[in-house]
Structure 1
């Protein structure tokens, strides 16, 4: 049993199907009809939706669909861009942290090898001075600039030797003590760990 030619060229909604046409790129591309994906309103014999209500039927519906797709593309680009900017900010932060770690390590190595005539004890503050000779070599002392009196040598800086054998600059000792207190609280809390950021 064969169907009439007109019935073959119409879809299930009664719209005329367009033949596939190859367009000449040199001519204006004005189309009177639009090719849509064929719909099966009853897959496996079950009607899921009403095709007349959900189907795109006119060129205005297609323009609206294209606008929605373009809007979704803009949202996708904006979302990806904002996530990438957050990652870039994190990378910059990690680079700054890495530079600070290297700077601290270099300072610790220099202070561990500086000239001194005593055993360094963690928890104590030590003072670095420059010798008045030609080389201007640095050395470490237990005597503060105030204790020297009038004959104080050229003062460079003061550092506290921490219990992990790292050196904290004098102006950051209080900050380091606050960090150590916070770490002690975290360790004492044990399994009831709650971090708060201010």
Structure 2
């Protein structure tokens, strides 16, 4: 009788353990699916921004301002909304973005959120010299 109870206990324990592991895997899959959706959405936005009309050579590290004409055509300008107002050019500004070295775009003012993972690693492993070198801004 005691042997049978121990076997039942072991089976119950193993099933609970497997269920817990499967739950972790399921959560990770859900998180990866959400990350995949984010990557697809970001890629679509970056592609659209890279195809916006522009009469100058865009350089990484600079902020560009996205405007929309009344016709619906979007275009980039180097002139900020404040300067545009001074020269009496009234157009609708959509947003401002910084062009990154990888040709992706970061909304102006959100540059510090671009590398959340790197920032986390920098904070976590700040005493490790190899990690400092990988995470440095230079």
What range describes the TM-score normalised by the shorter chain of this pair? Answer: 0.7 to 0.9
Partner in structure 2 of residue 100 of structure 1: 38
| Alignment deviations for residues 114-135 of structure 1 (CA, whole Å, 9 cap, x no partner) | 10101001100111111112xx
Change (3 A) 1:88 1:192: same
> Which protein is richer in helix relative to its size?
2
TM-score by length of 2: 0.79
Higher-Rg structure is 1
Question: Runs of 5+ in structure 2 lacking a partner?
Answer: 134-138
Q: How does 1:1-198 map to 2 (within 5 A)?
A: 63-133=1-71, 136-149=72-85, 151-176=89-114, 182=122, 189-190=129-130
Which range is displaced more, 172-181 or 144-153? Answer: 172-181
Segments of 4+ moved more than 4 angstroms: 177-181
Q: What SS does structure 1 have at the residue aligned with 2:65?
A: strand
Change (3 A) 1:105 1:88: same
Paired positions, count:
127
Question: Runs of 5+ in structure 1 lacking a partner?
Answer: 1-62, 194-198
**Higher RCO (C-alpha 8 Å, min separation 6):** 2
Q: What SS does structure 1 have at the residue aligned with 2:110?
A: helix
Q: Is the 8 A contact 1:124 1:160 kept in 2?
A: yes
